[in-house]
């Protein structure tokens, strides 16, 4: 007997699904203990249907989602349309119609996940979304299945391929932000409006989902402070290298004494840190835990086949659980109340790039300002004066968010000093 | 209701099990949907029992395995004694007594796995061993659960922490093999007889197990050609660096047109390959597949807590499956007939370090020898003459095992030429 699935949308990722189902039939059927059959595919309109048929795809295409929702033979609905609407409504209705759902839609899950998961649970249905975080990397299932025995203390992720591609070019080739963006757009990695990628929004969505799996806490998108890579100057990149670091856009979710701290921000990584060699469009999730210690999961963060591999793994898992009659199990079963960290518990080193008047005594003056907030220096570097201004670079020892805010405010009040950039620095 | 487990052996890894069960009780009980209780612990003798009690461990210690086997309350037996006997007999008897088994014993599984798995399957029992490969890295469960949708074409692994620690020192610090071994022994990473680690035997055991999960094929230990790191000279390490490579002891399992090829051998990895930055005692498994493409799973290959984390993950999974009444499922459900590759399908580039008389015309002479076997050069380097001999280093283009054997034989026949080393080179 075969398990019938319906695809909502037949774009790039969706067309990878039949590829894997066909190339890998024997293995899939062994694990699912059923054949998997694409019974219907929802497309936008007749024009899309005709164009897909012309390309040689011969699925039963439909243009009305009702034909899928009302088809009692279809067990699993696979949503690959992206964006919030109509995906949200379609998933909701599929769940209400008693169908299991697989989706790769991180925006939707980060914002409306709890609502959808509740409907799924109430109806004893599966709602799986391995592909929503880090594309092809099987990180969610691994956190849910293998880290059950372990207590995670911090997760660091390079989760946005577009910005990682850009930063890799900026680091390896010395490109400017705008050159890197132009190249990313030319290669199709970045959209014409790159906001979601370069401002850390996409990575923050993924951090919301990772928080659920790694810490059992459902936090809101707004709880993830995000800062992107727009303000990274070639000088910052060069100074990072000089100081022994590589800049990456890093999502960090960590447990502090008062609660969970989640943020996405450009981060100086020590050049020997495993995440520092994650280059180009690749993603990685680095996990710190009391049992395993340090582990890392590396792979493609996007792309047709990697994403489809995660989607099909979810489909296979549901098919098998239908067979085993255990399909009501949640994708993630670790839950605890979400408590957010107090600012004074969120600690890190920071890099300050500061322009000062090209006069003697400036270092002493900066030292006094930082010292007043009890912030000590780990590294300090004074570059050549650039016109009227000298560039001073400071890497601090550990600073909490309250101290950070105070010292930043103090520096901002001084009219002859300019703060070019403040970036997080990961300790060794 | 709690699930009762018995530990066979209470050495380093075993004592990590209660640590994780206690530190992580809430999460474990949420996922297992049962409490997990250490009901009995088998120790060698009264002396070990007294010494553990003196250290503050207050488990019901027993010195006779019968007390565990005949105890119908015990659902899971956790074997952490290592070596073949009596572990093999105890596991067999535990399975025959209807108990599920968790073990970290790679030697045993690589050699007697099929026999034990058959008994487990026949009796509808779980036999799980996540910790047997790459210690803390959750690689087996990930291959079994997440790669169901994908077709793996090659697995490359840095699977032996001891030899990787030694090679890291040889590469980073220029140490000799014997200095690196002495340090590894001093730090407790290597045993006084380091054979299993430095000769690639330990990694070959793991390759046997990985073959089952990645390719569904049960191959014999003897089918994994293994060569260790004893013959790596500082000159090889230096030349690798000069040519843009890092030497690691790599287990490689790959599909070829005629079948599976598995070997463990020191390998030149391009310095930008993700495995090249796996240093010290860390392990990693790099997977190439038609869906995901390239992914890597990195973490500690050994150690008390990492290994215990994998062991406890297995225990939790069994406890949950007892609850779900699906406990008869195999750890790995992907099976196909094992077919080994023909030598002419096993291809790679190779590094040859050759001593020739310090006379003109030697490169031409070598070129003729290699050309006669249709082997072309990718890189060639002539170092300064060392006494009577000049050192010529050749990196070939792709060569199959038949060609490799022929050219090696030809070179061996020449009395004025000495082949210092032949090592595998991974292409970019």
Chain A: give the shortest CA distance to residue B2, in Å: 16
| Cβ pairs bridging A and B (under 8 Å) | 202
Q: Is position A330 within any domain?
A: no
pLDDT, average across residues A156-168: 96
Q: How many domains does chain A have?
A: 3
Residues A162 and A181 in one domain: yes
DSSP at A111: H
**Domain containing B377 — which CATH number?**
3.30.70.260
The pLDDT confidence band at residue B386, using thresholds 50, 70 and 90, is low
Whether residue B293 and residue A316 make contact (CB cut-off 8 A), yes or no, is: no
Predicted confidence at residue A205, as pLDDT, reads 97
* Per-residue pLDDT reduced to its tens digit, B45-72: 999 999 999 999 999 999 999 999 999 9
**Domain containing A39 — which CATH number?**
3.40.50.720
Predicted confidence at residue B263, as pLDDT, reads 98
Lowest mean pLDDT among A25-34, A383-392, B286-295: A383-392
Lowest mean pLDDT among A167-171, A257-261, B190-194, B279-283: B190-194
Residues A310 and A371 in one domain: no
Percent of chain A predicted with pLDDT > 70:
99
The pLDDT confidence band at residue B222, using thresholds 50, 70 and 90, is very high
**Cα A390–Cα A393–Cα A398 angle in degrees, nearest 5:** 150
Asked whether the predicted pLDDT for residue B163 surpasses 80, the reply is yes
Range of the domain at A378: 346-425
Of B291, B324, B357, which one is at a domain's C-terminal end? B324
Q: Is position A338 within any domain?
A: no
To the question of whether residue B248 is assigned a binding role by annotation, the answer is no
Q: Is position A353 within any domain?
A: yes
Whether residue B309 and residue A289 make contact (CB cut-off 8 A), yes or no, is: yes
Which residues from chain B sit within 8 angstroms of residue A316, using beta carbons?
148-149
Predicted confidence at residue A191, as pLDDT, reads 86
Predicted confidence at residue A388, as pLDDT, reads 77
Chain B: give the shortest CA distance to residue A372, in Å: 40
Asked whether the predicted pLDDT for residue B269 surpasses 80, the reply is yes
Asked whether the predicted pLDDT for residue B4 surpasses 70, the reply is yes
Q: Is position B65 within any domain?
A: yes
Torsion, Cα of A308, A313, A317, A323 (10° steps)? 80
Nearest to B30 among A31, A290, A333 (CB): A333
Of B300, B335, B370, which one is at a domain's C-terminal end? B300
Whether residue A28 and residue B148 make contact (CB cut-off 8 A), yes or no, is: yes
Check: CB of residue B392 under 8 Å from CB of residue B366. Answer: yes
Residue B206 annotated in active site = yes
Greater model confidence, A361 or B205: B205
The pLDDT confidence band at residue B385, using thresholds 50, 70 and 90, is low
Instruction: Tell me which of B169, B206, B248, B305 is the catalytic residue.
Output: B206
Residues B128 and B31 in one domain: yes
Residues A252 and A401 in one domain: no
In a mutational test of the B interface, the residue from A21, A36, A149, A269 whose CB has the highest number of chain B CBs within 10 Å is A149
Check: CB of residue A288 under 8 Å from CB of residue A167. Answer: no
Which residues from chain B sit within 8 angstroms of residue A274, using beta carbons?
277, 298
Asked whether the predicted pLDDT for residue B428 surpasses 80, the reply is no
Neighbours of A194 (CB within 10 A): 20
* Per-residue pLDDT reduced to its tens digit, B334-374: 999 999 999 999 999 999 999 999 888 899 999 999 999 99
Asked whether the predicted pLDDT for residue A428 surpasses 80, the reply is no
pLDDT, average across residues B308-336: 94
Predicted confidence at residue B329, as pLDDT, reads 86
Whether residue B138 and residue A148 make contact (CB cut-off 8 A), yes or no, is: no
Which residues from chain B sit within 8 angstroms of residue A149, using beta carbons?
20, 24, 28, 308-313, 315-316
Instruction: Tell me which of A206, A248, A347, A424 is the catalytic residue.
Output: A206
To the question of whether residue B106 is assigned a binding role by annotation, the answer is yes
Chain A: give the shortest CA distance to residue B184, in Å: 21
Predicted confidence at residue B43, as pLDDT, reads 96
Residues A205 and A260 in one domain: yes
Which residues from chain B sit within 8 angstroms of residue A20, using beta carbons?
149-150, 290-291
Q: Is position B261 within any domain?
A: yes
Chain B: give the shortest CA distance to residue A1, in Å: 19
pLDDT, average across residues B153-174: 96
Residues A186 and A294 in one domain: yes
In the numeric block, which tokens belong to residue B25? 């009780």
* Per-residue pLDDT reduced to its tens digit, B21-45: 999 999 999 999 999 999 999 999 9
Predicted confidence at residue B48, as pLDDT, reads 95
Q: Is position B329 within any domain?
A: no
Whether residue B300 and residue A292 make contact (CB cut-off 8 A), yes or no, is: yes
Q: Is position B264 within any domain?
A: yes
Predicted confidence at residue B388, as pLDDT, reads 76
Whether residue A293 and residue B303 make contact (CB cut-off 8 A), yes or no, is: yes
Which residues from chain B sit within 8 angstroms of residue A24, using beta carbons?
149-151, 290-291
pLDDT, average across residues A374-394: 86
List all residues 6 or more positions away from B226 whose beta carbon is below 8 Å from its beta carbon: B199, B200, B201, B203, B204, B263, B264, B265
Q: Is position A339 within any domain?
A: no
* Per-residue pLDDT reduced to its tens digit, A288-328: 999 999 999 999 999 999 999 999 999 999 999 999 999 98
Whether residue B312 and residue A300 make contact (CB cut-off 8 A), yes or no, is: no
Measured in whole angstroms, the distance separating CA B104 from the mean position of its chain's CA atoms is 12
Residues B151 and B185 in one domain: yes
Mean pLDDT computed over every residue of chain B: 95
Of A300, A335, A367, which one is at a domain's C-terminal end? A300
Residues B223 and B74 in one domain: no
Residues B146 and B294 in one domain: yes
Residues A191 and A237 in one domain: yes
Tokens 């757009």 correspond to: A185
Residues comprising chain A, all counted: 428
* Per-residue pLDDT reduced to its tens digit, A199-257: 999 999 999 999 999 999 999 999 999 999 999 999 999 999 999 999 999 999 999 99
**Domain containing B285 — which CATH number?**
3.30.360.10
In a mutational test of the A interface, the residue from B22, B155, B292, B296 whose CB has the highest number of chain A CBs within 10 Å is B292
Residues A311 and A271 in one domain: no
Residues A268 and A157 in one domain: yes
pLDDT, average across residues A371-388: 86
Whether residue A150 and residue B26 make contact (CB cut-off 8 A), yes or no, is: no
The pLDDT confidence band at residue B423, using thresholds 50, 70 and 90, is very high
Predicted confidence at residue A217, as pLDDT, reads 97
Neighbours of A239 (CB within 10 A): 22
């Amino acid at each position: 007997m075969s398990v019938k699935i319906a695809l909502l949308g037949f774009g790039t990722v969706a067309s990878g699904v039949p590829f894997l189902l066909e190339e890998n039939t024997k293995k899939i059927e062994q694990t699912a203990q059923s054949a998997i059959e694409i019974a219907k595919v929802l497309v936008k309109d007749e024009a899309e249907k005709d164009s897909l048929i012309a390309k040689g795809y011969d699925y039963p295409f439909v243009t009305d989602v009702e034909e899928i929702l009302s088809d009692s033979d279809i067990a699993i609905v696979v949503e690959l349309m992206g964006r919030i609407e109509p995906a949200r409504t379609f998933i909701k209705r599929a769940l209400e119609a008693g169908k299991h759902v697989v989706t790769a839609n991180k925006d939707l899950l980060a914002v409306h996940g709890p609502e959808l998961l509740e409907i799924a649970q109430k109806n004893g249905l599966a709602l799986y979304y391995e592909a929503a975080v880090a594309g092809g990397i099987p990180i969610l299932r691994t956190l849910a299945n293998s880290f059950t025995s372990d207590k995670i203390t911090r997760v660091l992720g390079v989760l946005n391929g577009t910005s990682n591609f850009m930063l890799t070019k900026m680091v390896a080739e010395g490109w400017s932000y705008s050159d890197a963006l132009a190249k990313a757009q030319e290669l199709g990695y970045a959209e014409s409006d790159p906001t979601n990628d370069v401002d850390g929004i996409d990575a923050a969505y993924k951090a919301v989902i990772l928080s659920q799996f790694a810490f059992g806490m459902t936090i809101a998108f707004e709880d993830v402070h995000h800062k992107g890579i727009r303000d990274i100057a070639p000088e910052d990149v060069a100074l990072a290298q000089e100081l022994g670091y590589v800049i990456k856009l890093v999502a960090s979710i960590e447990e502090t004494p008062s609660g969970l701290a989640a943020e996405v921000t450009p981060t100086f990584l020590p050049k020997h840190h495993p995440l520092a060699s994650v280059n180009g469009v690749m993603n990685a999730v680095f996990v710190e835990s009391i049992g395993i210690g340090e582990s890392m999961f590396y792979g493609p963060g996007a792309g047709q086949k990697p994403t489809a591999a995660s989607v099909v793994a979810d489909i296979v898992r549901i098919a098998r659980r239908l067979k085993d009659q255990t399909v009501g199990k949640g994708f993630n079963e670790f839950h605890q109340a979400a408590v957010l960290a107090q600012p004074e518990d969120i600690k890190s080193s920071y890099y300050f790039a500061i322009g000062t008047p090209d006069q003697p005594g400036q270092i002493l003056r900066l030292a006094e300002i930082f010292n007043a907030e009890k912030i000590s220096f780990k590294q300090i570097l004074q570059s050549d004066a650039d016109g009227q201004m000298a560039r001073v670079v400071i890497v601090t020892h550990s600073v909490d968010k309250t101290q950070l805010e105070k010292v930043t405010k103090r520096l901002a009040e001084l009219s002859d000093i300019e703060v070019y950039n403040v970036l997080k620095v990961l300790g060794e």
